[in-house]
Amino acid sequence: MQNGEIAGLFLELADLLEIQGSNPFRIRAYRNAARTIENETESFELIVKNSPEELQSFSGIGKDLAEKIVHVVETGSFSQLEELRNEIPVGVVQMLRLPGIGPKKVGAMYRELALTTIDELKAAAEQGQISELKGFAKKTEESILKGIEHLAEMGNRALLAEAKAQVDFIIEDLSQLDSVQKISVAGSCRRRKETVGDLDLLISSDNSEEAMETLKEHPLVSEVLQQGKTKQRVRLNTGLEMDLRVVPENSYGAAMQYFTGSKEHNIVMRKKAQERGWKLNEYGLFEGEKQIAGDSEEEIYTQLGLEWIPPELREDRGEFEASEKGTLPKLIELKDICADLHMHTTASDGTASIKEMAEAAKKLGWKYISITDHSKRVTMANGLDEKRLRKHWENIRKVQEEIKGIDILCGIECDILEDGTMDLSEEVLLEADWVVAVLHYGLKQPKEKINQRLLNAIRCPAVTAIGHLTGRLVNRRKGADMDMDDIFKAASDYGVMMEINAHPKRLDLNDLHARKARDMGIPIVINTDAHSTKGFDVMQYGIFQARRAGLEKKDVANTRTLKQFRKMLRTSR
């Protein structure tokens, strides 16, 4: 059982308890524990099996929760959850997803009207039954109906790349206003999380009305959902929602800190303020009535005895300890990258030639690239067999003679077949400069089988890296099930690199896995998997993911010169 699944059960319990009206602090305790479990790279299943006494050493896990975790790992559930599941139907929990509807209202509708599904809720609202309940009225009823309609359309969080493109466009337009002094995105988009639930836009201005009126009329905005003096909430055409907050200039840093989050990071920040007898909110750090910091984020962190923490690390996953000790990483930046080692050409399913790709990469300032077209198993993509591959490499060498200032490696993206063998012979693979081994098919095989396939690939002396390890697609497909400890241990032993695939839909390794791989001494490569010259643009998202993992320039192999890079390749090369 994966950590995420264990955490999911506790989150479910928290929702159920909330609808029931339980003690809010108890509910929070379950959510905190779920977060601890989800953010931990060590497998809780293994901890339960090997050293269950360690469970209570994790923050937020005490005697009771430790027992429940053991029970979950052994039986897949626990009695308290089962009892509540019997008591409250799943449809009732789903009602929590409606905007403006929380546990109290859901609880009331369930108890008073016995509504158990979204469909029943919709019917009741249409018949006007909701507005007759105490504490409800026409507006709430309408907002429920609107919410149900919207739920059907949207549902998922947006990809970072999509969300960021929209907010960047809006920022460009709003920053033209004379009344807007400072403007920035905040929230999970600024933290570069792989998905974004909604956008947060922050402005310092002495004329909030002008900004709000302009945003209201912006071509990307479809509807104003809320509007007050300092806060406006709008829905964009894409369905994504956005909060605009307007603060005075001397509160801008505090507001940036506050609205960038994460929630968990901010709870620690406010506790630190409290410990010193101060108060921290979006307007500043206060000693009594007196603002002692607020202009800039740096001041606030400094006052609390901390080094400024980059937004990507603000998840309460160890950044405070590092900040206090002065050991925060100097995070990798886009400009550190000088190569891309995973891309396609017209030889398989790319749209540009070898030469076009090389020239485009050179324009970006990159010093070397590896052309890695598909192997023959990927018939849909016109994958290469041994003969075509050798011919392709000949063509690469010809292009290399024509183009100076960038080195082109002869590579291949080779499938790891369902039976665990490589799609191309070891003989031909050993002729390559660079071999990215990947899973494309059979992602649903059982964990043991997937593990075996990856271990075989890592042991194959020709393989230099594993690409998009799990095969997950953000928001769309769960990756293959595997034992990360085994895989990383083997990769570390055999000197095989791990890729962060920078495509916004992949971002695989994810942040936690990338951090773990680095901690186990595995060199990381960040690659675009470009299928066209435009495809190089996604490198930034790979960098974001690497930054969230806490990676520095030295942790990433394609920040090195080609000579240094070659020295990092496994000894069998």
Window contacting DNA (CB under 7 A); options: 227-235, 410-418, 419-427, 451-459? 227-235
Least distance from C-beta 327 to DNA, angstroms? 20
3-state secondary structure of 346: coil
Least distance from C-beta 136 to DNA, angstroms? 5
Least distance from C-beta 142 to DNA, angstroms? 8
Least distance from C-beta 236 to DNA, angstroms? 14
Least distance from C-beta 318 to DNA, angstroms? 16
Least distance from C-beta 511 to DNA, angstroms? 21
In the bound state with DNA, the residue whose beta carbon lies nearer, of 123 and 137, is: 137
Q: Rounded to a whole number, what is the largest CA-CA distance in the chain?
A: 80
Residue of 166, 184, 266, 470 that binds DNA (CB under 7 A): 266
Residue of 50, 134, 325, 330 that binds DNA (CB under 7 A): 134
For residue 20, state whether it binds DNA (rule: CB under 7 A).
Answer: no
On whether the CB atoms of residues 507 and 532 are closer than 8 A, the answer is: no
At 408, give phi and psi (nearest 5°): -115, 115
Residue of 122, 150, 182, 270 that binds DNA (CB under 7 A): 270
Window contacting DNA (CB under 7 A); options: 59-67, 154-162, 320-328, 496-504? 59-67
For residue 231, state whether it binds DNA (rule: CB under 7 A).
Answer: yes
Window contacting DNA (CB under 7 A); options: 270-278, 298-306, 363-371, 487-495? 270-278
In the bound state with DNA, the residue whose beta carbon lies nearer, of 268 and 562, is: 268
For residue 504, state whether it binds DNA (rule: CB under 7 A).
Answer: no
Residue of 92, 106, 125, 524 that binds DNA (CB under 7 A): 106
In the bound state with DNA, the residue whose beta carbon lies nearer, of 98 and 371, is: 98
Question: What is the Cα–Cα distance from 201 to 498, expressed in whole angstroms?
Answer: 35
At 470, give phi and psi (nearest 5°): -90, -20
Question: What is the Cα–Cα distance from 142 to 131, expressed in whole angstroms?
Answer: 9
Least distance from C-beta 331 to DNA, angstroms? 24
For residue 111, state whether it binds DNA (rule: CB under 7 A).
Answer: no
For residue 77, state whether it binds DNA (rule: CB under 7 A).
Answer: no
On whether the CB atoms of residues 312 and 543 are closer than 8 A, the answer is: no
Binding to DNA (CB under 7 A) within 177-206 occurs at: 187, 197-198, 200
Least distance from C-beta 178 to DNA, angstroms? 22
Least distance from C-beta 420 to DNA, angstroms? 42
Question: What is the Cα–Cα distance from 184 to 194, expressed in whole angstroms?
Answer: 19
For residue 281, state whether it binds DNA (rule: CB under 7 A).
Answer: yes
In the bound state with DNA, the residue whose beta carbon lies nearer, of 250 and 395, is: 250
Residue type, 319: E
For residue 105, state whether it binds DNA (rule: CB under 7 A).
Answer: yes
Provide the angle, in degrees to the nearest 10, between the axes of the packed helices 63-75 and 3-20: 120
Question: What is the Cα–Cα distance from 504 to 195, expressed in whole angstroms?
Answer: 9
On whether the CB atoms of residues 374 and 344 are closer than 8 A, the answer is: yes
For residue 318, state whether it binds DNA (rule: CB under 7 A).
Answer: no
529: left (phi over 0), alpha (psi -120 to 50) or beta: left
Window contacting DNA (CB under 7 A); options: 177-185, 224-232, 320-328, 407-415? 224-232
# of chain residues touching DNA (CB under 7 A): 63
Provide the angle, in degrees to the nearest 10, between the axes of the packed helices 484-494 and 447-459: 10
Question: What is the Cα–Cα distance from 34 to 8, expressed in whole angstroms?
Answer: 7
For 518, the enclosing helix (H) or strand (E) is helix 511-519
How many angstroms from the chain centroid is the CA of residue 180? 31
In the bound state with DNA, the residue whose beta carbon lies nearer, of 130 and 491, is: 130
Question: What is the Cα–Cα distance from 528 to 531, expressed in whole angstroms?
Answer: 9
For residue 243, state whether it binds DNA (rule: CB under 7 A).
Answer: yes
Question: What is the Cα–Cα distance from 558 to 434, expressed in whole angstroms?
Answer: 13
At 293, give phi and psi (nearest 5°): -165, 155
Token pair of 552 as six digits: 């520095």
For residue 65, state whether it binds DNA (rule: CB under 7 A).
Answer: yes
Question: What is the Cα–Cα distance from 123 to 64, expressed in whole angstroms?
Answer: 41
In the bound state with DNA, the residue whose beta carbon lies nearer, of 282 and 529, is: 282
Q: Going by C-beta distance under 8 Å and a sequence separation of 6 or more, which residues neighbour residue 96?
A: 15, 18, 19, 102, 103, 106
For residue 143, state whether it binds DNA (rule: CB under 7 A).
Answer: yes
Window contacting DNA (CB under 7 A); options: 39-47, 71-79, 102-110, 534-542? 102-110
On whether the CB atoms of residues 201 and 187 are closer than 8 A, the answer is: no
For residue 484, state whether it binds DNA (rule: CB under 7 A).
Answer: no
For residue 103, state whether it binds DNA (rule: CB under 7 A).
Answer: yes
For 234, the enclosing helix (H) or strand (E) is strand 231-236
For residue 216, state whether it binds DNA (rule: CB under 7 A).
Answer: no
On whether the CB atoms of residues 400 and 422 are closer than 8 A, the answer is: no
Q: Going by C-beta distance under 8 Å and a sequence separation of 6 or more, which residues neighbour residue 48?
A: 55, 69, 70, 73, 74
Residue of 56, 238, 346, 353 that binds DNA (CB under 7 A): 56
For residue 8, state whether it binds DNA (rule: CB under 7 A).
Answer: no
At 26, give phi and psi (nearest 5°): -65, -40
Strands 241-247 and 279-281: unpaired
Residue type, 51: S
Residue of 50, 53, 86, 135 that binds DNA (CB under 7 A): 135
Residue of 15, 194, 282, 297 that binds DNA (CB under 7 A): 282
- List contacts with DNA (CB under 7 A): 23, 25-26, 28-30, 32-33, 56, 58-66, 80, 96, 98-106, 131, 134-141, 143, 187, 197-198, 200, 226-231, 241, 243, 259, 263, 266-267, 270-271, 273-274, 279-282
